[in-house]
A and B are shown apart, each in its own frame.
Chain A
C-alpha cells in the first residue's frame, strides 16, 4: 500500500487556469506538508497542516490555497497559474511536533510535476 500518494503525477496546463493537486496519506499521521521543488531542484516548504489546522505558511502567494478536509488529506489548489509555478510539488506527512518529540520524520509522496505553458 502506498503511504503518501499524490494525484495527478503530471499536470500540464495553460497560464491563467486554476488547478488542484491531491494528497492522501494512510500512515495515521496528523501533520501534512507541501513542498515545492523548482527548476534548479531547490526544495522549499510551502505549507504544513496539523489535524486540519494551518501551522506553516511560508510567504506563498495567496493564489495557492491548501485545503485539508480531514487529517489524511491535504490538497493544493492554485488559482491563475503563472509560468513560474512550473515545478514539482511534493506532499509529505509526519506525526506532529510535541508530546516529547522535538522532531518527527517526514514521509514524502512521489511528487506532481506541474508544467504551465
Chain B
C-alpha cells in the first residue's frame, strides 16, 4: 500500500537560514509527488509537484524539491526562510483512483 513518511514532526529554523523538510514515500509504480502548505486555520495550498522529467522541481514562494528514486525521497528545500513560511507542510503521493495519500506533516517554526 502507498504511504508517505515525514520523519520530522517539528522543525525550527532561524529567519534567513536554509530549510530542508524530509519526505519518504512507498509506492510500487512511478510516483506522483506533491508538497502542500497549510497556514494556521487555512486550507491546503500546492507548493510544487513532480510527475516526470527533471527531478529537481521548482515551486511557488521560492521552494524547490528533489525527487530521488533510489532513496524514495522527495525533500523540500528553500535557501532562505522568511517568517511568513511558518506553517505546516504536507508531502503526498498520488495513488490509484487519483487519491492523495498524505504524510503526517511537519510543522515549521521560524525564529527571528
A binds B: yes
- Chain A positions near chain B (C-beta within 8 angstroms): 31, 33, 35, 40-45, 48, 55-56, 58, 90, 92, 94, 96-97, 102-111
Given A43-B90, A56-B97, A97-B97, A109:B43 Cβ within 8 A: yes
Give the total number of A-B pairs whose CB atoms are below 8 A apart: 56
Q: Shortest distance in angstroms between B99's beta carbon and chain A's nearest beta carbon? A: 5
Q: Flag if A111 contacts B102 (CB, 8 Å).
A: no
Q: Which residue of A42, A97, A108 is within 8 Å of B98 (Cβ)?
A: A97
For the residues of B in contact with A, the DSSP-based class is strand
- Residues of B near A56 (CB, < 8 A) are 97, 99
Q: Which residues of B in the span 84-112 have a Cβ within 8 Å of any Cβ on A?
A: 88, 90, 92, 94, 97-102, 104-105
Give the CA-CA distance A110 to B94 in the complex, in Å: 20
The residues of B with any CB-CB pair to A shorter than 8 Å are 30, 32, 34, 36, 38, 42-46, 49, 51, 88, 90, 92, 94, 97-102, 104-105
Give the distance in Å from the alpha carbon of A41 to the alpha carbon of B39 in the complex. Answer: 12
| Contact A48:B104 (CB < 8 A) given known A41-B88, A103-B51 | no
Among candidates A42, A94, A110, residue contacting B43 with C-beta atoms closer than 8 Å:
A110
List, in ascending order, chain B residues with CB within 8 A of A45's CB.
99-101
Residues of the A chain whose Cβ atoms lie less than 8 Å from the Cβ of B38: 41
User: Measured between alpha carbons, how far is A54 from B49 in the docked complex, in Å?
Assistant: 26
Residues of A with C-beta under 8 A to B30: 102
In the assembled complex, the CB of B94 is this many whole angstroms from the nearest CB of chain A, namely 4
